Amino acid sequence: MWNPTQYLRFAAERKQPFLDLLALVERRPQMSIVDLGCGTGEWTRELHEHLGADETLGVDSSEAMLEKARAFANERVRFERAAVESFEPGRKFDLVFSNAALHWVADHERLVPRLAALVADGGQLAVQMPANEEHASHVVAGEVGRDFGADMRQSEVLKPERYAEVLHRAGFREQHVRVQIYGHLLPSSADVVEWVKGSLLTDYERRIGAERFPLFLQRYTERLLEVLGDVQPYFYTYKRVLFRASLR
C-alpha cells in the first residue's frame, strides 16, 4: 500500500529525524552499511556519501519504493527487496542503520538482538522510530478503524529505558537513547490527514481494503477535525525514539 509520492509530500519535515540520527553515527574509514527500510533511496545515498562509506546496501520490502530507490544506485550503493523480519545477508556490517522503519516490525525484544548479530566487531547500530500513538492523529484512526472491523494498530516501539536495557543485554556497552519531540508547522489541521495518509493510514488501508478505504478516510477526516478543530496553521507535534549503540 506504500505510495512514494504521498510519503514524500512532507519530505522536508520527515528528513530532520534522519539527519539527527545520522549525526549520532561515528564516522569511521571504509565502512560497510546496511539501511533497513531504505524507502525511496535518496537518504540511503546521502547516508553513504556523508559517512564516506565503502559500500552501502539499502533494503526495503516495497517494490514501489525500490523503483524510486534504484535511481540512487551506483557501483557502491545498491538496493534489494527484503523484509526486515526475513533479511539474512550472511554477513555483518560496520553500521546497521534504520530510519522510520522498525516500528512496523514486531517483537523488538527479539529484534534488537537479531540486529546486533548483523553488526561487525566494533560496529554500530543506529535506529529512529516514530512513537506518536498518543496523538489524536493516531488515536482517532484506531477509533474509526474499529467501526470498519480493524482494531487500533498497536505500537511495537518499546519504552526508551527498555531499549537501553535490551541494547546492553545484546552487548552494546556504549549507547545513546533518547525521545525527541518534533514540531511541524503545517498549513492547517486538515494537512495532518495528508501526513498520515503517507504512513500510518497505509496499514489501515491494507486491513480495511481499497474499496472501503475512501469511506474510512472520509470519516477519519471528519472526526479528526472535530478533535483538532479547523486550525490554520497547525503545529503538529510528533514523538520519536532515537538510539545509537556501539559494540566497541
The string of pLDDT tens digits covering residues 114-165 is 999 999 999 999 999 999 999 999 999 999 999 999 988 888 999 999 999 9
For all residues of the chain together, what is the average pLDDT? 94
Tell the residue number behind the cell numbers 551506483, with chain if given. Answer: 74
CB 47 within 8 A of CB 97: yes
Tens of pLDDT along 12-34? 778 999 999 999 999 999 999 99
Split at pLDDT 50, 70, 90, the class of 6 is low
Split at pLDDT 50, 70, 90, the class of 7 is low
- Tell me the sheet residues that pair with 97: 35, 126
- 4-246 homologous superfamily: Vaccinia Virus protein VP39 (3.40.50.150)
Average pLDDT over residues 62-71: 93
Split at pLDDT 50, 70, 90, the class of 247 is very high
Helix, strand, coil % (nearest 5) of the chain? 45, 25, 30
Tens of pLDDT along 83-102? 999 999 999 999 999 999 99
Could you give the percent of the chain with pLDDT greater than 70?
A: 96
Q: Where are the domains positioned within the chain?
A: 4-246
Q: Is the peptide bond before 4 cis (omega within 30 degrees of 0)?
A: no
pTM confidence score: 0.92
The pLDDT, as a whole number, for residue 44 is: 98
The pLDDT, as a whole number, for residue 12 is: 77
Least confident of 1-10, 84-93, 106-115: 1-10
The pLDDT, as a whole number, for residue 9 is: 61
Alpha helices by DSSP H, listed for the chain, are: 4-7, 11-24, 42-51, 63-69, 108-116, 136-147, 160-169, 191-197, 200-208, 213-228
Average pLDDT over residues 70-81: 97
Rounded distance between C-alpha atoms, residue 104 and residue 100, angstroms: 9
234-246 and 174-186 strand pairing: antiparallel
Split at pLDDT 50, 70, 90, the class of 109 is very high
Rounded distance between C-alpha atoms, residue 88 and residue 102, angstroms: 16
